[in-house]
Amino acid sequence: MCVLVSDRPSPAALREISATGAFLETNARPELGTMVELRHPEAGAIHGRVQSLATDGIRLIFTCGEHSMGFALAAIASDMSRPG
């Protein structure tokens, strides 16, 4: 489980993650274009911009670079190492 920090912290679950962005299942609905922080228990934290809103979550975009690549890889590896 991740935490999305905008106006206040909200729980979020990663549905998709890459070095350029992520889709989060969350009840939070920050405005389009808002900068937010995504905190992952294993991958750390990354800042992103709200690109789109959906009924079940939001899409963030990241500035693609070493930090975003490391964040995405750590999040994927963390999910792959969990049983179930």
**Amino acid letter for position 44:** G
DSSP assigned state of 82: S
Where in the chain are the domains? 2-80
pLDDT tens, position by position, 8-58? 999 999 999 999 999 999 999 999 999 999 999 999 999 999 999 999 999
Distance CA 64, CA 27 (A): 26
In angstroms, the first-to-last Cα distance of the chain is 15
pLDDT band for 75, please (50, 70, 90 cuts). very high
Q: Kindly report the CATH number that applies to the domain delimited by 2-80.
A: 2.40.30
DSSP assigned state of 30: P
Q: How far is CA 25 from CA 12, 13, 17, 67, in A?
A: 6, 5, 12, 22
Among 52, 64, 54, which Cα is nearest to 26's? 54
- The model carries a pTM of 0.92
